[in-house]
Structure 1
Amino acid sequence: MNWTVYLSGEIHTDWREQLQAGVEALGLPVEFTGPVTNHEASDAAGDMLGVPEVQFWRDHQSSKVNGIRTKTLLEQCDLAVIRFGDKYKQWNAAFDAGYCAALGRPYITLHDEDLVHPLKEVDAAAMAWAQTPEQVIEVLRYVTTAR
C-alpha cells in the first residue's frame, strides 16, 4: 500500500524536507501532499477573483480558495502530520487538526515540549505526538512496513 501523508503547519523551518529525505532514504511507500507553503502566494490565493479593499475580505477570500486544496487533500490523505513551531501561532494547523479529528483521519502532532499545555486538546485527539522529524519518520516506517 502506498500511503498519502498530508504535511500541515509551520512554513519557516525545513521539517518537511527532513521528512521527505528520511522517507526517501528508507524507501518507504509514502507520498507527501500539503498546503501552499509560499506565504505570499497563499495570502494572494483569492486575488484572481478581485482584490477587496478591506484586508478582512481579502484574507477571507484567499482562505476559501486555499481551503479548496486543504479540504480536498485532507479528505484524501491516509495520515496527516501537523507541525506547530514556536515562532508563530499556526491557527491553520490547529484548524487542520480539528478537521482531521472530525473526519476520523489519523494525525501526528509535531512540536516541542513547551507547547504541550496549549495543545493539550489537539494532542489528545492525535494518534501520536512527536518532538522531532526523526520520530515522525520512525512512526511512518513502522506503520507502512510493520517493522
Structure 2
Amino acid sequence: MKLTVYLAGQIHDHWRDELKHHAKEHKLPIDFVGPMENHDRSDNIGEEILGKQPNAILKDEAASSFNNFRTTILMSKADVVIALFGEKYKQWNTAMDASAAVSLGKPLILIRPKELHHALKELSNKANIVVETPTQALQALSYVFE
C-alpha cells in the first residue's frame, strides 16, 4: 500500500523537506503533494495565465482561483492531510486547508505547538490526530504501515 499525503501549511521554511527526508529514510511508501511552494509563482500565476490585472486585488483574486483549483485537485486525491500550524507566520491558508480536509472527510493530522492549543481548539477537535512536531506526524503515519 502507498499513501498520498497533502502537506498543508506555510511555505516559508523547509518543514516539508525535512518530513519527506525522514519518510524516505524510514522507507515509508508515501507520495507527498501540497501547495505551490514557489511563493512568487503562487502570487503571479493568475497574471501568467490571464494576463496583467488592473490592480493588486484583482491580481490576488486571479491567483487564488488557480491556487484553489490546484489545491482542490491535489487534496481530493490525497489519502491523508497533514496541516502544520507554526508560531512565526500567519496561518490562514493552513486553517482553510485543514477545514477543507475535514469537509472532504480526509484523515487529518494537525501539527501545532501547545501555545496554539486554545486558538485551535475547535479545529483540533475535528482532526483525527493532534501532535506538536512534524516528527510525531511522521511517526503516526509510520504506525499505519505496521
TM-score (norm 1): 0.94
Take 1:56 and 1:118, find their aligned partners in 2: how far apart are those partners? 28
Please tell me whether residue 136 in structure 1 is matched to residue 137 in structure 2. Answer: yes
Supply the AA of the counterpart residue of 1:47: E
Q: CA deviation at 1:12?
A: 2.0
1:56-109 per-residue CA deviation (whole Å, 9 max, x = no partner) reads 111111000111110001100000110112112121111111111111111111
Take 1:61 and 1:111, find their aligned partners in 2: how far apart are those partners? 30
Take 2:54 and 2:86, find their aligned partners in 1: how far apart are those partners? 31
- Number of positions where the alignment pairs a residue of Structure 1 with one of Structure 2: 145
Instruction: Flag structure 1 segments of 5+ consecutive residues without an equivalent.
Output: none
Q: CA deviation at 1:53?
A: 2.1
Take 2:51 and 2:4, find their aligned partners in 1: how far apart are those partners? 34
Supply the AA of the counterpart residue of 2:5: V
Q: Give matches, 1:73-88, under 5 Å.
A: 73-88=74-89
Question: Percent of pairs identical after alignment?
Answer: 39
Take 2:41 and 2:70, find their aligned partners in 1: how far apart are those partners? 13
Q: Give matches, 1:109-120, under 5 Å.
A: 109-120=110-121
Take 1:104 and 1:77, find their aligned partners in 2: how far apart are those partners? 11
Q: CA deviation at 1:18?
A: 1.3
Structure 1 partner of 2:24: 24
Structure 2 partner of 1:46: 46
Tell me the SS of whatever aligns to 1:41. Answer: helix
Please tell me whether residue 90 in structure 1 is matched to residue 116 in structure 2. Answer: no
Structure 2 partner of 1:72: 73
Take 1:86 and 1:51, find their aligned partners in 2: how far apart are those partners? 35
Take 1:90 and 1:59, find their aligned partners in 2: how far apart are those partners? 17
Take 2:64 and 2:22, find their aligned partners in 1: how far apart are those partners? 31
Take 2:45 and 2:87, find their aligned partners in 1: how far apart are those partners? 25
Q: CA deviation at 1:51?
A: 2.3
Tell me the SS of whatever aligns to 2:12. Answer: coil
Tell me the SS of whatever aligns to 2:45. Answer: coil
Instruction: Flag structure 2 segments of 5+ consecutive residues without an equivalent.
Output: none
Structure 2 partner of 1:106: 107
TM-score (norm 2): 0.95
